[in-house]
Structure 1
Amino acid sequence: MIRLFKHYIPHAVLLLGVCDAVALLVAAEIGWVVRAHQIGIEAGPVWHRIPRLVAFAASLQLAMVGVGVYSAGKLHSMRYAAARLLVAVSLGVIVQSVIFFLVPEITLWRSNLFYALLAAMVMLMALRLVLARAIGGAAFRRRVVVLGAGPRAARLKDLCAQEGAGCMVAGFVAMAEAGRVLPEAIPRDYISNLAEHVIALGASEVVLALEERRNALPLADLLRVKTTGVEVSELSSFLERETGRIDLQSVNPSWLIFSDGFSSGRMLSGVVKRLFDIAASLILLLLTAPILLVTAIAIRLESRGPIFYRQRRVGLFNEPFDIPKFRSMRTDAEAGGVPVWAAKADPRVTRVGRIIRKIRVDEIPQAWSVLKGEMSFVGPRPERPQFVESLERELPFYAERHMVKPGITGWAQINYPYGASIEDARHKLEYDLYYAKNYSPFLDLLILLQTLRVVLWPEGAR
């Protein structure tokens, strides 16, 4: 994987993205040249229309990112790719229309656009047919040697065996530890030179997955491996990179303290984030005003009670605040004032509530909290105080998620399906900690784009 703006991107995804960008530029040029030939005019030098070509390629590629075309686990699925590409192209047309309305000088004409879209679909699918076997093969998977043969090493074995995994295990080495569960692991005593053994297996990385590290670290071995140019990783760092989350089963306080990251409080990034939040919340409230009005009328017609529902949540630095949402449940949803976990297909949800929850309209009023500075567009979802108290007792490092401003959407929301249990909260916390540790404007943009995928398809939180 390559680290771009503190976020890890698989090499296969990066390669496909670059190839797609080139293909889209070529498709835009084809659309221009074909139409020029039809009407009998000179196409002219290509550099005269570079802004048009770039606007076409950028709008379609952003739409492709948003609908999940580059999902690492689905890169070799032609059926998945075709469906998502069709949606992305449709969204790209809408974006092109908006650009044409705002800045017509940098967009293709409708006739050019038609041919460009046809060429883009053909070329994008052809790229996936050609690269499908390569991007899912061993050439783009990192070969690792795992030091350890216990449950932690077994977890790495399962991870690297998953579809779309960016790694493959070249071999296991059983160290002097109890609880061995991998019979294929070679005992360390059987290997005369570990560095030579790693190089012979063609590995580019060694992962330390010992069950107990105190007085058991093979420092001499690790030093020799490192000096040969092979990367040496601790289990927590490896899992962070490969899964996009902080693994609570393996992480410890010292790793969190001494690893890089947790820089969301820096002045420049904080100012940029706040300016974006103000502009985006104002634009969102203005653009969705008709939808908000229709939703308010529908809620009032279906059932008696308030249109908006205000709920106390825990925000930055554990400070409580109230978030506004459209009421999507019955007024007696929490009889006696006892908080209840939301559930999938919750019977307390009204008919209108079921619709607005599905398309996330109920969340739009939270833009007011963003405008006030209590929330951000992107960040960990704020939880209710009663649940926070119990989760802080059950889950390690839960309080650390409150060191960043909560958000309407977040890394956990686009990566983890709906859930309402302690175990689900654990998984979401792992994604929240990854976001807090690796925050950057780039990651915020990626989350905002990918939220579109969650809205269009039944993935993520509901």
Structure 2
Amino acid sequence: MSSAKFRDLSAGSKSLIIIEQILFAGALLLAVHLNELFKVIESQLIPDGFLLLSAVIFALLNQLSALALGLYNSKLRESFRGIFRRMLMCVSVAFFAATIINPFYGPYHLPIELLAIASLISVFLISCFRYFTFKVDFFGFGKRKILVLGSGERASIIEKRMRRDVDRQDFSVHGFVVMVGDTPGGIQYETRINLEESLVDYSLAHEIDEIVVANDERRNNLPVDELFACKIRGVEITDILDFIERETGQIAVNLIYPSWVIYSNGFASNNHLRNTLDWIFNAVMAVFLLLITWPIMLIAVICMKINEGFSAPIFYKQERVGLDGEPFNIIKFRSMRLDAEKNGAQMASENDSRITKVGQYLRKYRIDELPQIWNILHGDMGFVGPRPERPQFVQGLIKNLPYYNERHNVKPGLTGWAQLKYPYGATEADSLEKLKYDLYYIKHRSFLLDLLILIRTVEIVLFGKGR
């Protein structure tokens, strides 16, 4: 995350990261000092400065592993048992990485046994800390208090789509201000406020941190002077589109108006350095993935042949729409029956009856996608981007969904932001939801976001949450 993104985090989220960094580093320091006290493992004396550096690196390795396994995902829905399992895997991966770089410390390298003890102490300390934060809402103190200007259709998206506690971890809604021109029947259950005083006085009196502008009719109904007065007094003013984008990681396509697209940051594709290095990055990653996954692909082929006979085809080619709307043939391991489309083209759905027994595992762990390494090397796809759809579906979706064609301004990808955030979808409504995430990716596209998506994809593959 960039420094700006880190500043946008709540105080609770920042505290979680910083406290766990101290705990991981402290675990290594504690292991070393306990060993000096009890002389369990033969080890030379390490200078304090170098020992502190080793502790910081040990902490960073553990936190990178924790990030890859979703432990810093603010909307992670897991029981404490599930969190503990992830923590065990996190520390195991970090221990493996620490043993690899340990010899590079030269004469001041740590015995592997000490690293193992430090890892065990880490599991104990972090698990106790996570259990405490799991049972007590300790990190809720940093929530922003927001006031929504509007109570109609635009404002109701907060009530309908962000109603759960997990959706409001970083903010609390004080209420919805009734505005002239709001469509009736918008806000149904939350607090509606009929202002009888100025917006400035009300915001200051109730310690409002942020005002979200979400009224339906803005022409001649927006209190510009009062919003300006709130702004200069330290109250953040945010458009509903920007608020939804920030809190949900998607763009509300049905609320977009042209001026927002014109004046908002992002949607730029003229980064010449990125475009130049894009294929090199994808090619190197594709070769690396091929080297580490060829045994898995070989096992998949053997299982397919045993299950369906040696004459059954392994690969499946299908036409998809790529960059600038150009068609190309995608290559996948066949996970459906040979007669899967005897009744014409159909979108895949969750628990699709056409999927074979082996295909269920291929899809669950995304093994069926691995042959697309060829598409990446050929330049048809990248590692990260909107998933390519079939021409038969794209033509109808472009007609019915606004801005759908914008997906084709970037290369399609093996994985994407929508695949992380939304499950299988077989309807036009599902395509609309995925489009919201795809537009968010296109707007914020960067190497850093690509790296985050790749790390999160590792979590999905490891825990069998393929989408």
Per-residue deviation, 1:18: 2.4
Asked if 1:199 is matched to 2:201, the reply is: no
1:434 corresponds to 2:436: no
Please give the per-residue CA displacement for 1:172-222, whole angstroms capped at 9, x wherever unaligned.
22111243444842223x11x211211111111111111222332222222
Shift of 1:374: 1.4
1:21 aligns to what? 21
- For 2:376, which of 370, 375, 379 is the aligned residue? 370
**Whole-Å separation in 2 of the counterparts to 1:436 and 1:5:** 17
- Which segment is superposed worse, 284-293 or 406-415? 284-293
| Range with bigger deviation, 117-126 or 433-442 | 117-126
1:453 and 2:455 equivalent? no
Is 1:307 aligned to 2:309, yes or no?
no
Deviation track 1:210-245 (CA, whole Å, cap 9, x = no partner) reads: 122233222222222222221111110111001111
Given that residues 311 and 324 in structure 1 are in contact (C-alpha distance below 8 angstroms), is that contact kept between their aligned partners in structure 2?
yes
Matched, 1:179 2:183: yes
1:316 to 2:323 alignment:
yes
Instruction: Trace 1:60-459 onto structure 2 (pairs within 5 A).
Output: 60-74=62-76, 78-96=80-98, 99=101, 108-132=110-134, 133=136, 135-137=138-140, 139-158=141-160, 161-164=163-166, 165=168, 166-181=170-185, 182=187, 184-188=191-195, 190-191=196-197, 193-303=198-308, 304-335=311-342, 338-459=344-465
SS at match of 1:249: helix
Going from structure 1 to structure 2, the CA distance change for 1:174 and 1:263 (only over 3 Å counts) comes to same
TM-fit CA distance, 1:124? 1.3
- Tell me: CA distance 1:310–1:40, structure 2 relative to 1, closer, same or farther (3 Å): closer
Structure 1 residue 160: Cα displacement:
5.5
Structure 1 residue 73: deviation in Å?
A: 2.8
Report the CA distance shift for 1:99/1:428 in structure 2 as closer, same or farther (over 3 A): farther
TM superposition shift of 1:300: 2.7
SS state at 2:89 partner: helix
Letter in structure 1 aligned against 2:179: M
Where 2:302 maps in the other structure, the secondary structure is helix
Shift in Å, 1:131: 4.5
Contact 2:366 2:466 in 1 (8 A): no
Q: 1:2 to 1:214 in 2, by over 3 A?
A: farther
Alignment partners' CA distance in 1, 2:105 and 2:42: 23
**SS of residue paired to 2:155:** helix
State how many pairs are aligned: 456
Whether the 8 Å contact between 1:59 and 1:92 is mirrored in structure 2 is yes
| Alpha-carbon distance in structure 2 between the residues aligned to 1:7 and 1:295 | 45
Letter paired with 2:371: P
Other structure's SS at 2:183 match: coil
- How big is the shift at 1:61? 1.5
- Larger CA deviation: 371-380 vs 54-63: 54-63
Q: Which moved more, 1:241-250 or 1:161-170?
A: 161-170
Unaligned runs of 5+ in 1: none
Matches of 1:163 and 1:107, distance apart in 2: 46
Amino acid at match of 1:58: L
Q: What is the rounded CA distance, in whole Å, between the counterparts of 2:6 and 2:317 in structure 1?
A: 36
Q: How many Å apart are 1:442 and its aligned residue? A: 1.5
Secondary structure at the aligned position of 2:329 is classed as strand
Mind listing any 5+ residue stretches in structure 2 that lack a counterpart? none
Once the 2 structures are TM-superposed, how far is the Cα of residue 96 of structure 1 from its aligned partner? 4.0
| 1:48-93, Cα deviation, whole Å (9 max, x unpaired) | 2456434432332122112211221348964443232123223334
Residue 31 (structure 1) aligns with:
31
- The secondary structure found in structure 1 opposite 2:349 is coil
Partner SS for 2:424: coil
**Aligned counterparts of 1:264 and 1:18: Cα–Cα separation in 2:** 35
C-alpha distance in 2 between matches for 1:2 and 1:44: 34
AA aligned to 1:175 is M
Q: Deviations over 1:11-42 (max 9, x none)?
A: 43333122222221222222333345323545
- Do the aligned partners of residues 305 and 4 (structure 1) sit closer, same or farther apart at CA in structure 2, a change above 3 Å counting? farther
Secondary structure of 2:72's aligned partner? coil
TM-score (normalised: structure 1): 0.90
Moved more, 197-206 or 348-357: 348-357
What percentage of residue pairs aligned between the two structures are identical?
A: 38
The answer to which of 402-411 and 160-169 deviates more is 160-169
Q: What do the CA deviations read for 1:275-325 (whole angstroms, capped 9, x no partner)?
A: 321111011112212222222232233323321111111111111111111
Tell me if the contact between 1:161 and 1:168 (Cα under 8 Å) persists in the aligned partners. Answer: no
The letter for the 1-side match of 2:334 is R
TM-score between both structures, scaled by the size of structure 2 = 0.89
Structure with bigger RCO (C-alpha 8 Å, 6+ apart): 1
